[in-house]
Structure 1
Amino acid sequence: MKKYKIQKQPFVVPTNDGKLIEEHFGNASIKSDLSIAHMVAPPKWSEPFQTPEFDEFTYIIKGKKQFIVDSEIIVLKAGESIKIKKGARVQYSNPFDEACEYLAVCFPAFSMDLVNREA
């Protein structure tokens, strides 16, 4: 039995806000204890505040992304990364004029049941 798994066709998560989500490992693709997704957030994109029950690591590949973590505004640019611990109240957005490409890793794996998005 092989001790590795290659992902050649990530699951493209359907969205209605213009954001691209390609999950390589996680609950929607190849089952894993953590999730890894390649994402592209379009200009002026944002999502509601949430209080996830997982740690999320984000690495910015291109562009900039804004995070509001427990009311502190943080802006990261290409080459920078952040770990947001589970239980933090956070909002992710791209209020800028160019798309933001990034990788997101969640542990445990991302699940809508664990996001706790605000209305």
Structure 2
Amino acid sequence: MTLLPEPLPSGAEAGASLLAAMAGRTLLLAKVSRESLTWRRVATVLVYELPLIAGCAALGALGCHAAGVEGSPALVVIGVIANKGPAVLDPVIDAAIDALKAALRRPR
């Protein structure tokens, strides 16, 4: 079983996924950061946001492919995942990791 969809997405599909994720993160950052922009702040955002954008695009595209969602609806889902995903997924993942740690600590 392979984790990648068959056939692999085209360059245009991958680019559209990245743009949708970038739009979602940009909307969030524009809402959160109303402070003045400096070169240092922009550089910091680029260092932290670019990997997050790529990850959200990949997770969203793979999830949409698995659910059978394609085209414009998939791009909307990817944008929403990029905008809301980390804030929603972090607590869920933290809770799952804590539950796994607790289960592994219990004597059998």
TM-score of the superposed pair, with normalisation by structure 1? 0.24
In terms of Rg, which structure is larger?
Answer: 2
Identify which of structures 1 and 2 has the higher relative contact order when contacts are C-alpha pairs closer than 8 Å and 6+ apart: 2
TM-score of the superposed pair, with normalisation by structure 2? 0.26
